[in-house]
Chain A
Amino acid sequence: MLRFQRPHASVPQFTNSPTVIVMVGLPARGKTYISKKLTRYLNWIGVTTKVFNVGQYRREATQSYNSYEFFKPDNLEAMKIRNACVNTALKDVCDYLNRDRGQVAVLDATNTTPDRREVILNFGKENGYKVFFVESICDDPEIIAENIKQVKLTSPDYVGCDKEEALADFLKRIECYQMTYVPLDDNKDRRLSYIKIFNVGSRYLVNRVQDHIQSRIVYYLMNIHVTPRSIYLSRHGESELNLVGRIGGDSGLSQRGAKFASALGTYMRGQCISDLKVWTSHMKRTIQTAEALGVQYEQWKALNEIDAGVCEEMTYEEIQEHYPEEFALRDQDKYRYRYPKGESYEDLVQRLEPVIMELERQENVLVICHQAVMRCLLAYFLDKSAIELPYLKCPLHTVLKLTPVAYGCKVESVFLNIEAVNTHRDRPENVDVDRDPEEALETVPEHI
């Protein structure tokens, strides 16, 4: 029997027992980076996931961090605290997976000894959770130094410390772990399910993938990279249907839209990017926008705007007139609501998943797409929930430049100074099916 099966989800939720992903590796090997990114991805595709960072628990337990001495293997007092932290974390994992209907928990800690991993395996067995290890092994001093610089020096542990001191202390901390580190063993651990990532992905060892979700996790981990790059998200230029307040359809650019396309070309050239990839949908308005750039571009059908089914090419006023109940239902649950003979945002996310996967593989990319599509992509990069996603602001003629930094994404919003209609309709106050047309249309943006 499937847990939590939702009959109208786009794709079956292939998780039977919950899964605990267990990170393994020395400090500064990217465990937290991987934990957060993986969690963001899984949540986006609809698998409820949460990270449990044991370092966080330790910070709460010990109040203030003194020095690396806390981590010395012979510091028995500290050991007691650290073990207690793991146990608290595991208890929270239980609560999340049992009580809170979580599907995946990511245990982000070093887990560098067989003993510690044994404890977790037993925990998994007792509770009926599948356990999957993700080990990150890296001996490239440059990568480690960069990690430390990006995320350690600004950690709460080193607030108020001089950079040189912090670095020296952290390196000693790593040494403490090195003494007792036993990586997953090809022979002894052959019955475990795991992936070993070597040197940020040049090599992987994958053992005993048990099920669909582990297979997806492995695929995702094998496609991400840490090479610096930027992703540019933008909508097509203003379209003819935009001007008259109609949704969907396949119209061409308005005059202002064409001006935007030109301005976009200028802006992108100014970014001086080697090897920029440009992607569009199969709809006229994104293709026309790309044409103005004068570079090669690739068309993805998956980037087409959300299909509004029976409401295609209607104004909101017309939708209210012809389908008042549908209109209200949509306002009640904009993420899961599916237009009759059309799609939901949830469906959109499923069809955009290959786009996200390829964006992870690529480096510098400009994606020229549509409002609902851009909201989905943005939600992935900025870790927005299903509630927030359909209301993210993605105005016309504005480029969002996303640059991965530390554990997240820096966003620069660049308005290219060409006027356009507003197409953003906020959630109205009254979402009841019996509301007045006025209340329904309260937040409709202006149009011709």
Chain B
Amino acid sequence: MRGCSSRSKSTQNQGKAVCMTNCPTLIVTVGLPARGKTYISKKLTRYLNWIGVPTREFNVGQYRREFLKIYKSFEFFRPDNEEGLKIRRQCASAALNDVRQYLTEEGGQVAVFDATNTTRERRDTILEFAEQNGFKAFFVESVCEDPEVIQENIVQVKLGSPDYTNCNTEEAVEDFMKRIKCYENSYETLDEVLDRDLSFIKIMDVGQRYLVNRVLDHIQSRIVYYLMNIHITPRSIYLCRHGESELNVKGRIGGDSGLTPRGKEFAKKLNQFIQTQNISELKVWTSQMKRTIQTAEALNVPYEQWKVLNEIDAGVCEEMMYEEIQGNYPLEFALRDQDKYRYRYPKGESYEDLVQRLEPVIMELERQENVLVICHQAVMRCLLAYFLDKTAEELPYLKCPLHTVLKLTPVAYGCKVESISLNVEAVNTHREKPENVDIHRTTEDALQTVPAHF
């Protein structure tokens, strides 16, 4: 299990700190249809994977769709539909089977079992399953009676569902409402008294209120904290790098230099761009390095500095050009190309370290509404990977060019990305993974993908 050091040699790239889980955790959603269970499942899974906890969601509706092929109508969900009940039970079993495989054989630490699970009977079955397999069960119930919220859910994610591809909007809404009704009569909400021995969080009215019972360990505590900080108020997050810096044009990494004239031009254009966006109450965040602060200064609005938004620390390679790194540390240079996510510069940091230190930023971004984050290449890659659910493999190679703003807007289960280049020339600082990552490669091979610079 990652992070649990045994009594072995100190591994240079041991990133994760605490053993998050001894036994694997089974998160079980609970709630009527259109209460945000899948939204929560996907978001939580994305967050846990990003902080390094291998997590996967198992959506029982998906299994049902694969089994049935064609969805006819809400009648399938009627509580007196024996055939339907049989199939649904089978689907739940199949999903649990896959959960077992994921957690015991595939190295998963958390599985999110996404289904209505609205009866005590169903939940007891799951508890038995968890106990038999040595998993800890943690329930996440979403309770909501606000018709507007439910309507909005249906519009955002149900109408586009595979179940309703051949229906018009009105038919779909009507059928879905009847589907919800099928569950309502047998719905047994998690109860303070009857379920007092279970570990759960009950989310009421999209986060106005929470009931939290028997949090057992670190991972459950982190999950609760995360769930209590997310919201669904529409907003946009703007990510961009500082304007082009003096060290950028020289092809040097790291350091703390100021903006070039083109960089200053970008800052001005950024100001104009922000004005045109007409954003109410925009928060602006920078790192504590000159180049982001100088960029923010051009916006003429209050901004907040986060030390944790500072660029990745390249340790002994700070302020070097790639050619110099190859000249002075050819072995390190190759090792980095072999595993760019986990590789830690001597006396510096790895991308994995970056993610750890950026976690409070992500948590606060979740709490906030409209925010502009002016940061750095590696930092922006980490933040972007969180929002776009990129893997550790992809993350260090995400393209985050200078003088380009990424506007992220949550929509349905994901994030819409708009890439806006502000039309100010800048050097390219993106170095692709070269073909040859062997430690015995030639200098040419190593420097093959270094972008041009002065």
Contact = CB atoms under 8 A, between A and B. Distances in A.
Given A5-B304, A297-B5, A203 B212 contact: yes
Contact of A2 (B3, B14, B224, B304): B304
Interface in B288-330: 288, 302, 304-308, 318
A202 interface: yes
Given A204-B212, A298-B19, A350 B304 contact: no
B274 interface: no
Contacts of A207: 208-210
In which size bucket is the chain B interface? 35 or more
Contacts, number: 109
Nearest to B3: A298
Given A282-B10, A284-B10, A361 B218 contact: yes
Nearest to B318: A341
Contact of A11 (B211, B225, B308): B308
Given A11-B306, A298-B5, A215 B228 contact: yes
Given A296-B6, A298-B5, A298-B17, A8 B209 contact: no
Given A215-B229, A299-B10, A358-B218, A203 B211 contact: yes
B434 interface: no
A-B pairs, top 3 by smallest CB distance, nearest first, are A12-B304, A10-B307, A204-B212
Given A209-B228, A361-B217, 9 more contacts: A8-B288, A11-B307, A11-B308, A203-B212, A222-B225, A291-B7, A294-B7, A312-B347, A358-B18
B213 A203 contact: yes
Interface string A277-319: 0000010100100010011111111100000000010000000
The B interface is mostly helix, strand or loop, or mixed, namely: loop
Interface in A348-363: 350-351, 354, 358, 361
A14 B364 contact: yes
A205 B210 contact: yes
A291 B217 CA distance: 26
Given A299-B5, A299-B10, A206 B305 contact: no
Interface in B331-371: 347, 353, 356-357, 360, 364, 367
A205 B209 contact: yes
Contacts of B367: 211-212, 215
A299 B5 CA distance: 7
Contacts of B210: 204-207
Contact of A208 (B192, B208, B360): B208
Contacts of A297: 5, 7
B243 to A, nearest CB: 20
A168 B331 CA distance: 75
Contacts of A291: 7
Interface of B: 3-7, 10, 14-15, 17-19, 192, 196, 208-215, 217-218, 221, 224-225, 228-229, 285, 288, 302, 304-308, 318, 347, 353, 356-357, 360, 364, 367
A299 B14 contact: yes
28 contacts: A1-B302, A2-B304, A10-B306, A10-B307, A11-B306, A11-B307, A11-B360, A12-B285, A203-B214, A206-B211, A206-B212, A206-B228, A207-B210, A208-B209, A211-B367, A212-B364, A212-B367, A219-B225, A219-B228, A222-B225, A294-B7, A297-B5, A298-B5, A300-B18, A301-B17, A312-B347, A350-B307, A361-B221
A228 interface: no
A347 interface: yes
A279 to B, nearest CB: 8
A298 B2 CA distance: 11
A202 B213 contact: yes
A270 interface: no
A219 B363 CA distance: 12
Given A205-B210, A299-B17, A347 B307 contact: yes
A298 to B, nearest CB: 6
Contacts of B19: 298
A362 to B, nearest CB: 9
Interface of A: 1-2, 5, 7-8, 10-12, 14, 190, 202-209, 211-212, 215, 218-219, 222-223, 282, 284, 287, 291, 294-302, 312, 341, 347, 350-351, 354, 358, 361
A229 B208 CA distance: 35
B228 A218 contact: yes
A204 to B, nearest CB: 4
Contacts of A204: 210-213
A402 B175 CA distance: 62
Nearest to A297: B5
A209 B305 CA distance: 24
A219 B217 CA distance: 13
Given A203-B192, A206-B209, A223-B221, A302 B17 contact: yes
A219 B209 CA distance: 14
B10 A10 contact: no
Contacts of B221: 219, 222-223, 361
B214 A202 contact: yes
Contacts of B302: 1-2
A312 B346 CA distance: 14
The listed residue with most B CB atoms (<10 A of its CB), out of A208, A209, A295, is A209
A260 B210 CA distance: 49
A168 to B, nearest CB: 32
A284 B11 CA distance: 10
Nearest to B364: A212
A437 to B, nearest CB: 28
Given A14-B364, A202-B213, A218-B228, A296 B306 contact: no
A222 B10 contact: no
Contact of A300 (B17, B209, B228): B17
